[in-house]
A = this chain, B = another copy of it.
């Protein structure tokens, strides 16, 4: 089979770099182009010495983000660009017949009004919103397979949606009162020269931020509402912690029904386990933890895997669910490549480390 030709647009940020890393290791997708205004003309290996052992990185030179050029070289373009900018490039790329997987927020929301509310400006291409598919392969796999425009989910949303969607769809938890408390590594802030993300400012620091209305809430609540079949409003608290990669999310939810005594709790626990098994048992990248195991980001960093663990608390009657992902892999580049795999008829996890 011919290799699928892919372009990474905006390859100099952390998500772009991760896409480059994963595509260089992919056996069925070829990194055919990488754009960066800043590094145009230099080889990928020059800009990212860590890829220097890879022949493709020695050969490929960053080019300008020109739509014609990209569409000529690639069947699919990954856009790792700021919101607003991404949509402006998506339009000509789609017209030129290049499929687009956008890692920005531009095509994640179904409503241009919600986009305006959360991102502070008019949507640059509202006519494309209906056409875009939310790129969560475990739940939109079929639609992704037919799509020309896919919006790769945000990192926090991925860590929150995967554990919650099956529970909400099955009614095992109430849609009200959900809390998501998340910890993120610093790469989540992007490769930006800002004082807040200097080593000295992040090292030995634990801090919440972006409270109480983080932008990711818009897509989280959109998707949870779809899963619940009713509007869902959640509490979401992101924290910045001194690791390079990884998101650990702890979710608090009220069970959909009361249980009585240990036996009742046991049965409810079995239903939760069965629900997750039904949803994700067939997904190699999702590890449903059992026994005493709890998620740990160091078990997923560098891979497209997700760890999900849960506990019922007999004292409070609550269900706690915890998830761990790599914010750059399953939370960005890896999930985007899963979408590309599905768009071109490959298995979702083809070529990805698990």
Q: Which residues of A contact B (CB under 8 A)?
A: 14, 25, 49-50, 52-55, 177, 179, 181, 183, 185-187, 191-195, 197-209, 211-213, 217, 233-235, 237, 239, 241-248, 250, 252, 284-285, 287, 289, 293-305, 307, 311-313, 315-316, 318, 320, 322, 324, 353-354
Please give the count of copies of this chain that the complex contains.
Answer: 4
Residues of B contacting A179 in the complex (Cβ-Cβ under 8 angstroms): 179, 252
Partner of A199, one of B242, B303, B322: B242
Partner of A206, one of B187, B204, B208, B246: B246
Interface SS of chain A: loop
Partner of A305, one of B53, B181, B287, B303: B53
Q: Are A49 and B287 in contact (CB under 8 A)?
A: yes
Q: Are B239 and A252 in contact (CB under 8 A)?
A: no
Residues of B contacting A192 in the complex (Cβ-Cβ under 8 angstroms): 198
Q: Are A195 and B205 in contact (CB under 8 A)?
A: no
- The residue on B at minimum CB distance from A193 is B193
Q: Are B354 and A54 in contact (CB under 8 A)?
A: yes
Q: Are A242 and B242 in contact (CB under 8 A)?
A: yes
- The residue on B at minimum CB distance from A53 is B354
- The residue on B at minimum CB distance from A354 is B53
Residues of B contacting A207 in the complex (Cβ-Cβ under 8 angstroms): 248, 294-298, 324
Q: Are A212 and B315 in contact (CB under 8 A)?
A: yes
Residues of B contacting A315 in the complex (Cβ-Cβ under 8 angstroms): 212-213, 217, 233
* Closest beta carbon of chain B to A236's beta carbon, Å: 9
Residues of B contacting A208 in the complex (Cβ-Cβ under 8 angstroms): 248, 250, 294-295, 322
- The residue on B at minimum CB distance from A194 is B193
